[in-house]
Amino acid sequence: MSQGSNIRADQGQPLVRLRNLSMNFGSVAAVRGINLDVLSRDFLAILGPSGCGKTTLLRMIGGFIEPSSGTIEIDGADVTRLGPERRPTNMVFQGYGLFPHMSVRQNVGYGLRIAKVPQDETDARVAEVLDLVRLRDLAERGVEQLSGGQQQRVALARALVMRPKVLLLDEPLAALDLKLRQAMQEELRRIRHEVGGTFVFVTHDQGEALGLANRIAVMEAGCVVQEGSPQEIYTQPSTRFVSTFIGEANLFPGECRGGQITLRSGGTFDAPGSDARVLVVVRPEDMHIGANATDSDIVMQGVLYDIVYLGAFVRYQVRLHDGQNVMIHSIDRTLQDTLFPGAEISFGWSSTIHRIIPDD
Ligand SMILES: Nc1ncnc2c1ncn2[C@@H]1O[C@H](COP(=O)(O)OP(=O)(O)OP(=O)(O)O)[C@@H](O)[C@H]1O
Ligand SMILES: [Mg+2]
């Protein structure tokens, strides 16, 4: 990890470069021609559904699988054919892979012992990293006598103590229950802030990706389909898959002709763009109920068929005349008293806020 005056200089430089990276297991194309840069000091999330190739990609970066084709460069050096021990990376595996009969301290110090680091330096580095993950008081305990969250910290400490240039984490929080997962997210943010460095983590949990990462690469069927900041991914999804995998979305099919979009469910508005079939993407929280609209609003009518109180907001489900369902989230608690299932309502959104994507 960078120190002192280097930090600023290398901030935002590509540290890991993946070029045309592919991996085939027999006839299964697990990773297909990925081009991706991990920038120095990134906290990059690789996000996608089960089986899309996330673990395979991470294992290739870490050197645990040799790619079928393509190249991996880390810090300017081609490491494509190098094993894990010859790369400036370290990986925290899903399920942690701790040594069950060793204590916390022995687990964390293991890599340094193998690397023949002198004992006093090992002791100092282990103590430092145990402080970082707040496990100092449990150092002598066997790892089997730890909770899931504590084991997770040991796994993290064991990787961090090696001071990797790039830390790879495969579903680091998946084994934890919801409350613990949220607490560990906070911990990870703090740890990353304290040690700096570059983190790449895999998750199928969009909330985790949005909450932890400064950049997200969304994977679908072996490919990276979009990358950007959490905000870009959420507000400017580029495909149907991205718009529905990250957050919830209403998708209105329509036709763009001569700078105007006509929606299948009714409504026409001006929109630049070439003639094509399109989808208009609107987030449920960007919808409003009621007819009081401004000029930039698109308004529709439908029948309210479900109202669910979810604490922080109320979820309304509306069925349009063409059968399409629309989801509206509102934080306006007074609305709930005036609406009932079966009511015909007007609702809409501002055209300044929707996103238009190709319907392919
Ligand atoms: N060693 C292997 N041999 C054969 N096929 C494999 C192997 N490892 C992975 N695959 C296949 O490659 C594809 C991608 O698997 P991978 O484990 O990378 O997915 P993933 O995105 O990590 O999924 P999950 O979220 O379930 O962990 C899957 O179809 C999987 O069955
Ligand atoms: Mg996986």
Task: Report the CATH number that the domain containing residue 114 is assigned in CATH.
Answer: 3.40.50.300
Same-domain status, 238 and 285: no
| Residue 268, in any domain of the structure | no
What is the per-residue pLDDT across 156-183, written as a single tens digit (0 to 9) for each? 999 999 999 999 999 988 878 888 888 8
Q: Which CATH number does the domain housing residue 346 bear?
A: 2.40.50.100
What's the mean pLDDT in 21-42? 97
Alpha-carbon distance values, 188 to 181, 192, 193, 203, 343 (Å) = 10, 6, 8, 14, 47
What is the per-residue pLDDT across 298-343, written as a single tens digit (0 to 9) for each? 999 999 999 999 999 999 999 999 999 999 999 987 887 889 999 9
Q: What is the helix (H) or strand (E) element at residue 15, kind and residue range?
A: strand 14-25
CA distance 68 to 80: 10
Predicted pLDDT at 107: 96
Q: Would you say 31 and 21 are in contact if contact means Cβ atoms under 8 Å apart?
A: yes
| Residue 61, in any domain of the structure | yes
**pLDDT-derived band of residue 55, with 50, 70 and 90 as boundaries?**
very high
* 57 Cα nearest atom in ligand 1: 18
Same-domain status, 198 and 329: no
Q: Which residue owns the Cα nearest ligand 1 atom 24?
A: 50
What's the mean pLDDT in 53-71? 97
Predicted pLDDT at 1: 43
Sequence-ordered alpha helix ranges (H) in the chain: 6-10, 54-62, 104-114, 119-132, 148-160, 178-195, 206-212, 230-235, 240-245, 335-338
Q: Which residue has the tokens 């400490």?
A: 157
Q: Residue 86: pLDDT above 90?
A: yes
Q: Which residue owns the Cα nearest ligand 1 atom 12?
A: 30
Q: Would you say 332 and 319 are in contact if contact means Cβ atoms under 8 Å apart?
A: no
Same-domain status, 143 and 189: yes
Predicted pLDDT at 293: 67
What is the per-residue pLDDT across 218-273, written as a single tens digit (0 to 9) for each? 999 999 999 999 999 999 999 999 999 999 999 999 999 999 999 998 888 998 88
The total of structural domains in the chain comes to 2
115 CB less than 6 Å from ligand 1? no
Same-domain status, 228 and 293: no
**Which of 55, 64, 91, 94 maximizes ligand 1 atoms within 8 Å of its Cβ, making it the mutation to test the pocket?**
55
Predicted pLDDT at 10: 53
Same-domain status, 171 and 42: yes
Q: Would you say 359 and 279 are in contact if contact means Cβ atoms under 8 Å apart?
A: yes
Same-domain status, 28 and 132: yes
6: left (phi over 0), alpha (psi -120 to 50) or beta: alpha
Own/partner long-range contacts of 115-121 (Cβ < 8 Å, ≥24 apart):
115/162
Q: Residue 2: pLDDT above 60?
A: no
Same-domain status, 206 and 347: no
| Residue 248, in any domain of the structure | no
What's the mean pLDDT in 174-195? 85
80 CB less than 6 Å from ligand 1? no
Tokens of 255: 């036709």
- The side-by-side arrangement of strands in the sheet containing 89-92 is 89-92, 166-170, 198-203, 43-47, 215-220, 223-228
CA distance 122 to 110: 9
**Which of 25, 218, 225 maximizes ligand 1 atoms within 8 Å of its Cβ, making it the mutation to test the pocket?**
25
Of 25, 87, 46, which Cα lies nearest the Cα of 223?
Answer: 46
Predicted pLDDT at 3: 40
Q: Tell me which of 242, 271, 299 is where a domain ends.
A: 242
Query: Containing domain of residue 90, as a range?
Result: 6-242
What's the mean pLDDT in 60-75? 97
Ligand nearest to the CA of 48: 1
Same-domain status, 124 and 172: yes
| Residue 116, in any domain of the structure | yes
| Residue 65, in any domain of the structure | yes
| Residue 216, in any domain of the structure | yes
Q: Tell me which of 242, 267, 296 is where a domain ends.
A: 242
203 CB less than 6 Å from ligand 1? no
Helix (H, G, I), strand (E, B) or coil at 337: helix
What is the per-residue pLDDT across 116-152, written as a single tens digit (0 to 9) for each? 999 999 999 999 999 998 899 999 999 999 988 899 8
Predicted pLDDT at 54: 97
Q: Residue 47: pLDDT above 90?
A: yes
Same-domain status, 209 and 296: no
Tokens of 271: 């929109």
50 CB less than 6 Å from ligand 1? yes
Predicted pLDDT at 332: 87
Same-domain status, 298 and 228: no
Predicted pLDDT at 6: 41
Predicted pLDDT at 63: 97
Same-domain status, 235 and 288: no
Q: Would you say 56 and 248 are in contact if contact means Cβ atoms under 8 Å apart?
A: no
| Residue 182, in any domain of the structure | yes
Of 63, 74, 105, 94, which Cα lies nearest the Cα of 174?
Answer: 94
Same-domain status, 70 and 138: yes
Interacting residues of 57 by C-beta distance below 8 A, sequence separation 6+: 18, 21, 23, 31, 34, 46, 202, 219
**Which of 27, 52, 168, 225 maximizes ligand 1 atoms within 8 Å of its Cβ, making it the mutation to test the pocket?**
52
Own/partner long-range contacts of 129-135 (Cβ < 8 Å, ≥24 apart):
129/157, 129/160, 129/161, 130/104, 130/105, 130/157, 132/157, 132/160, 132/191, 132/194, 132/195, 133/157, 133/160, 133/187, 133/191, 134/187, 135/104
Q: Residue 344: pLDDT above 60?
A: yes
User: What's the whole-model pTM score?
Assistant: 0.89
Q: Tell me which of 215, 242, 269 is where a domain ends.
A: 242
28 CB less than 6 Å from ligand 1? yes
Q: Would you say 113 and 158 are in contact if contact means Cβ atoms under 8 Å apart?
A: no
Of 62, 74, 92, 64, which Cα lies nearest the Cα of 161?
Answer: 92
How far does the centroid of ligand 1 lie from the alpha carbon of residue 289, in Å? Answer: 44
Q: Which residue owns the Cα nearest ligand 1 atom 27?
A: 50
Tokens of 310: 């979810």
Q: Would you say 46 and 54 are in contact if contact means Cβ atoms under 8 Å apart?
A: yes
95 CB less than 6 Å from ligand 1? no
Q: Residue 5: pLDDT above 60?
A: no
| Residue 254, in any domain of the structure | no
Calculate what percentage of the chain has a pLDDT beyond 70.
96
Residue predicted with more confidence, 3 or 175: 175
